[in-house]
Structure formats: structure tokens, C-alpha cells
Structure 1
Amino acid sequence: MTRVIPASEMPINADGSAFHLHLKPEQLADRVILVGDPARVGTVASYFEEVECDVSSREFHSITGRYKGKRVTVVSHGIGGDNIDIVLTELDALANIALDSRTVKPGFRQLTLVRIGTSGGLQPFVPIGTYVAAEWSIGFDGVIYFYDKNEAVRDKAFETALLQQLEWKIKELQPYVVPANPSLTEQIAQDDIIRGVTIATNGFYGAQGRELRLALADPALNKKIEAFTYQSRQITNFEMESSALAGLAALMGHRALTVCCIIAGRVAKEMNTQYKDSLTGLIEKVLERI
């Protein structure tokens, strides 16, 4: 018997659009660029030759248009893995659920999703201004644990090495590791974007080892992160969304990758707050390659 998804589990607006994004199925392209800042959507879309739709709702701003003949949707997701859960679930619903009947479509539509973000570098070889692709994402957020069969997309051996080398002390939270889509990594990173290991945290301050007034549960954690190695890989950077994106996309069957511009040198304790111009080159690379 075909399952009908209840309204309480998949709210749909009166105009037939997804509840948070306010997008309709026909407004979504197969190629999707994700950005955190709603203002950055306009920056990406400024490269489009034509614009089909421009929709805003809360922190979610979406524009669909064409770049050199390719149909592309750019969507802002705000900050954090919880927002990725909302955005990716609704994008998948637009692609693979018939909203009128609330039933899963018989044929699967795969999306290609590239997140363009900012990040803090953790190694000398990723200084401020470097572009890093999250070939592997380490989740300090827990998002995918709420979904069945998450073990199928996780690298358990990598997780074991992580727990051992970091002497993991935060028992209430279990890190997980998910690889990005290999073919998409090849397509986007090519030979001029560093392929790294990215930690995605569920916060900007304590979760990334920043200490203001509150003491940290493990003050030595960042030092251990910087020293970590697994199969010749080192952890390159911190951000807040790559693991939820990689994990949920893999579970759903979509292709996903996060690429970041390094705007903070965590070891050197440097920060570039005027980073928006440094993102231009990364935006252009992604638009050309997606």
C-alpha cells in the first residue's frame, strides 16, 4: 500500500510550495548551489544570463536561472546542520515526492548539490584564502543519527581512529565520518582545490574550541585535532554544515560536496572578516564546473 505522508510530517503551503523554502517543484533545477548567507544568493545569481524565479522566506533565499546554458538553483540555508536538515529534506521532497498526493514518486530524481562556504583552517598548508573541498566530513553535530541505516554511509574505521587519537571525552556526543560523493569531488575540486578533511560542528564558539567566558570540556581538543592523521590524511578545517549535507545526501541518493574558502587561521590565530571578495573566485569555479 502506498504511504501517504501526513500534513504534520510534510507541511505544504497553500500555493503548493515547500513549507520553509516556499519553492515549487517546477522551480528547482537539478544543479543546486548552497550558501549560508542569504545575501550571497544574489552574488551567485549575478552571473546568470537569465533568472526564472526569485523566492525569499526567512533565511531561505532561492534563485533559479541559467549560467552558460546550465539551469542552476542557488539556495541559502543559514547557519548550522539543523538548517541543512530542513533545506535538504525539502529539496528532496520537491524532486521526489508528488506534493499534491503526498506520495513518493516512482522514479528517482538525483540532485547535484555543492555548498560554497567559509571556514577556519587548521593546518599550515591551508592558509587564509585557500579553497578546500571536504572530501571527508567529520560530524560533531549528530544530525544523521536520527535517520535509519546511517551506518551505511559512515566510515567506521575512520571514526574509530578519530575517537582513539582525540582521546574523546565528550561522551554525550559521538563524532561520525562521511565521504563526499567521489565523482562530484573529481568534477569540482580538479587539481586546484585542496581535498581535505573537514569538521562540521554544532556551534561556532565552544564546539570549535573558542573560549570566551565559559570553560571548555576538553581544552586540549583542538591540539589533538591538529595532530590527527589517518591514512596520510590530516584534518584541514572547521565549519558547520558539511557533515549533515554529505550524510543526508548520501542517504537520499544525491551527489553532494562542500567547498570552503579559508577565512581564519586557527593555529596562527588570524581572521579575515572582509572575506566576501575572496569568495568570488570560488563561486566562479563552482559555476563553471557544476
Structure 2
Amino acid sequence: MPGDSEDPNDEVQYHVELSTGDIADAVLLPGNPERLDKITPLWDDHEEVAHHREYRTATGSYDGTPISVTSTGIGSPSAAIAVEELARIGVDTFIRVGSCGALQAEMEPGDLVITRGAVRQEGTSDEYVREDYPAVADNEVVSALVAAAERLGHDYHVGLTMSSDSFYAGQGRPGFEGFEAVGSDDLIQELKDANVANVEMEASAILTLANVYGLRAGAVCSVFANRETGEFLTEGESNAAETASLAVHLLAKMDEKKAEEGVDQWHAGMSLE
């Protein structure tokens, strides 16, 4: 086992520069640090509490419910660092809020995709578990995201997500000077035929780590591109952020209801009103 020198500070987490008390129990995880400026105006109040490297964090409240947001940068390696360090200071619920490419023709730019499970085509989660370990979203988080999208009137789809380590070759796009990775010609069609809904770069690692550690996680992404129709439009970021923020509030209500009923899991027979 590595010595204590691997953890240079027991109180402040090395990469995110946060301590217990800086953060709510539930955290939204966008990739781009600039997305905080689109998320936090939707809340009742907020305060930026840290910004180090790609990890920018704000904490506040949404409809009276404590909530935080930490950007992760692009890709699963940096997202996994965020989950690791946030879990160490008490976070128990993670919701990725991002953008994605849709694979099914009926999905339009601006629609939301709520992940119920993910294809682990990134290498980070392989460092934690065997290759046949599933990346599954928490059922309470999925239910809260669906309920939030319904209440807000946003168009959404629930399905499987593929997470890759590469925006270009790993998602079937040509590289520099037209380079094509082996199998890239068939990748998108194979995923589409398998009823995978969308592609992005972080969800499967976040879901895997959350399951390993017994925490809750899910993902909601705005469709920017449809890989079937060729449409591209950067719309829906605020819809994803609003849906995720309301989902955190609904999850808090679920937790209150579970405590009242003396049960461990919320289910559809329990009202959130």
C-alpha cells in the first residue's frame, strides 16, 4: 500500500481544493467550468467556493434544498478524480449535467437524454472493476430526473449512453488529415442498432464509481448533435441544468419520505407531494 505521502493534505482535497462543509450532499457535475455560469443563476442563491485546474465549485440552494456544482473538465479520468475527492468530504449523490451526441433519429437538438445505464468504452472504470461490470444509474436519481423533466415540460428520452475516451476516433469521427480508427466506420451504426441513445465522455465512469462506493449517481445531457440526421445545434444546456437542479430537490423529498416510512428505497408508490 502507498504511504501517507500520497495524500498531501488530509483536510483539503488535493485537486478540487474543497473541505467538508464547503459542499452539499448532492453535486451536479458539468464538464465545462463555464457551465457554472448557466447553472447557478437557476438557484435561489450560491457562492463560488473553489476553483483549481478544471474543478470549479459553487454551493447554494435550489427551492430551499442545499445543492452544489463541480465542473470536471473533459473525460472520465478527471471526472473520476472529482467523484473520489467529493465522496471523501461527504457527497453521496452525483448527477452529470452535460452535452451529448444522439444516435436515434427521433432525438432532436435541445432534447434531453436521461441515462439509465452506460456502455463503458472509456478506460478509467477499467482501473476499478472487471470489464463485464455494469455501469448503472441509481433508480432514485433516474426517477427524480424523469419527474423533473416532466414537471418542467422539457422533451426527454431515457436510455443507454456510451461513454468514450475520445471525442474524435472514439466516437467514429475522422481525426487529423482524415485519419480513421479501426472500426470507426461501423461504430455509430452498431451502437444505434443496439438501441444506445447517445454518446458522451464521462457518465459510465461516474456511474461505476458511485456503484462501487454505494453512492447515488445519474446523468442528464442535452443533445447538441444528432449523429443519424447530421443536425448540430448547441441548445438545451439550461434545460439540463434546470432538470438536474430540480431532481436534487426531488431526491431530498424522496429521502424525507423514506425516513417517514422507515424504508431504505423510494418507490413509485410513495408520493412526493
1:126 is aligned to 107
Q: Deviations over 1:68-87 (max 9, x none)?
A: 21111110000000011110
Question: In structure 2, what is the Cα distance between the partners aligned to 1:223 and 1:52?
Answer: 44
Identity across matched positions, percent: 27
Instruction: Pick one of 159, 179, 185 that aligns with 2:142.
Output: 185
1:50 and 1:65 in contact (8 A); partners too? yes
- Give the secondary-structure state (helix, strand or coil) at the position aligned to 1:25: coil
State the AA in 1 paired with 2:124. V
- Give the secondary-structure state (helix, strand or coil) at the position aligned to 1:249: helix
Question: In structure 2, what is the Cα distance between the partners aligned to 1:186 and 1:288?
Answer: 12
Q: 1:52 Cα deviation (Å)? A: 4.5
2:158 is aligned to 195
The aligned runs of 1:155-174 (5 Å cut-off) are 156=132
Q: 1:111 Cα deviation (Å)? A: 1.0
Q: 1:197 Cα deviation (Å)? A: 0.6
- Give the secondary-structure state (helix, strand or coil) at the position aligned to 1:220: helix
- Give the secondary-structure state (helix, strand or coil) at the position aligned to 2:189: helix
Q: 1:177 Cα deviation (Å)? A: 3.6
Instruction: Pick one of 5, 9, 22 that aligns with 1:8.
Output: 5
1:27 and 1:53 in contact (8 A); partners too? no
User: Which TM-score applies when normalising by structure 1?
Assistant: 0.77
Give the number of aligned pairs.
Answer: 239
Structure 1, unmatched stretches of 5+, are 96-109, 157-175, 229-233
2:71 paired with 1:76: yes
Structure 2, unmatched stretches of 5+, are 249-273
Question: In structure 2, what is the Cα distance between the partners aligned to 1:6 and 1:247?
Answer: 26
Greater mean alpha carbon deviation, residues 212-221 or residues 73-82? 212-221
Structure with greater helix percent: 2
Q: 1:258 Cα deviation (Å)? A: 0.8
Question: In structure 2, what is the Cα distance between the partners aligned to 1:112 and 1:195?
Answer: 19
2:22 and 2:49 in contact (8 A); partners too? no
